[in-house]
Amino acid sequence: MRGVIQDEGKPAMSQNQVEHGGRLLLGAGIVGSAFCLRLVFASLSVRLPEVVRATGLEPWQVGLLTTLPVLCLGLCAPLAPGVARRWGAEPSLFGALALIALGTGLRALGPVWALFGFSILTGAAIATANVLLPTLVKRDFEDRTALLTGAYVTAISGGAALAAAVTVPLEGLLGGGWRIGLSMWAIPVLAALILWSPQIRKATRSGGVVLPVVGLWRDPLAWSVALFMGLQSALAFSVLGWLAPILRERGLDAATAGLVLSVLIVVQLATSLTVPSIATRRPGQRLIAVGLSIAATVGLLGLLLAPLSGVWLWAVIQGLAQGGLFSLALTMVLLRSPDSHVASHMSSMAQSVGYIPAAMAPLGVGVLHQWTGGFGAVGGLVAVIGLGLVVTGLSAGRATVVTARAASLSALKAA
Contacts of the segment 365-370: beta carbons below 8 A, 24+ positions apart: 365/238, 365/241, 365/242, 366/59, 366/62, 366/63, 366/66, 366/242, 367/63, 369/246, 370/59
Q: Is residue 204 pLDDT above 90, yes or no? A: no
- CATH assignment, 23-414: 1.20.1250.20
Q: Is residue 89 pLDDT above 90, yes or no? A: no
Sign of CA dihedral 325, 329, 330, 335: positive
Q: Is residue 384 pLDDT above 80, yes or no? A: yes
Phi/psi of residue 213, each to 5°? -125, 140
Average pLDDT, the chain: 83
* Residue 19: pLDDT band with limits 50, 70, 90: low
CA-wise closest residue to 62 among 78, 80, 75, 49: 49
Least confident of 69-83, 213-227, 309-323, 379-393: 69-83
Cα dihedral value 126, 131, 132, 133, nearest 10 = 90
Query: How many other C-beta atoms are found inside a 10 Å radius of the C-beta of residue 215?
Result: 12
- Average pLDDT of the residues in 166-189: 87
- Average pLDDT of the residues in 358-366: 78
pLDDT value of residue 209: 58
- Average pLDDT of the residues in 210-222: 86
Q: Is residue 370 pLDDT above 60, yes or no? A: yes
Burial class (CB in 10 A: 0-12, 13-18, 19+), 113: exposed
* Residue 181: pLDDT band with limits 50, 70, 90: confident
* Residue 13: pLDDT band with limits 50, 70, 90: very low
N-to-C CA span, the chain: 52
Sign of CA dihedral 35, 40, 41, 47: positive
- Average pLDDT of the residues in 179-192: 93
pLDDT value of residue 9: 46
pLDDT value of residue 374: 72
Phi/psi of residue 307, each to 5°? -55, 150
- How far is Cα 124 from Cα 19, in angstroms, rounded to an integer? 33
Contact 323, 158 (CB under 8 A): no
Q: What does the pLDDT look like over 286-318, one tens digit per residue?
A: 999 999 999 999 999 999 888 888 999 999 999
Q: What does the pLDDT look like over 31-82, one tens digit per residue?
A: 999 999 989 888 887 788 888 888 888 877 887 887 888 888 888 888 888 8
CA-wise closest residue to 228 among 112, 342, 331: 331
Contact 178, 46 (CB under 8 A): no
Q: Is residue 347 pLDDT above 70, yes or no? A: yes
Domain residue ranges of the chain, discontinuous segments joined by +: 23-414
Q: Is residue 389 pLDDT above 50, yes or no? A: yes
Q: What is the largest CA-CA distance in the chain?
A: 84
* Residue 106: pLDDT band with limits 50, 70, 90: very high
Percent of the chain exceeding pLDDT 70 equals: 91
- How far is Cα 79 from Cα 214, in angstroms, rounded to an integer? 16
- How far is Cα 116 from Cα 381, in angstroms, rounded to an integer? 26
* Residue 10: pLDDT band with limits 50, 70, 90: very low
* Residue 348: pLDDT band with limits 50, 70, 90: confident
Q: Is residue 12 pLDDT above 70, yes or no? A: no
pLDDT value of residue 21: 65
Q: What does the pLDDT look like over 229-282, one tens digit per residue?
A: 989 988 988 887 788 888 888 888 877 887 888 889 888 888 988 898 898 888
* Residue 14: pLDDT band with limits 50, 70, 90: very low
Sort strands 213-214 and 405-406 into parallel, antiparallel or unpaired: antiparallel
For the question of whether the overall pTM of this predicted structure is more than 0.85, the answer is: no
CA-wise closest residue to 193 among 74, 102, 79, 78: 102
Between 211 and 91, name the one with better pLDDT.
91
- How far is Cα 241 from Cα 70, in angstroms, rounded to an integer? 10
Q: What does the pLDDT look like over 139-169, one tens digit per residue?
A: 888 778 778 888 888 888 888 878 878 888 8
- How far is Cα 26 from Cα 200, in angstroms, rounded to an integer? 11
pLDDT value of residue 202: 65
- How far is Cα 372 from Cα 397, in angstroms, rounded to an integer? 37
Between 102 and 351, name the one with better pLDDT.
102
Q: Is residue 385 pLDDT above 80, yes or no? A: yes
- How far is Cα 45 from Cα 207, in angstroms, rounded to an integer? 39
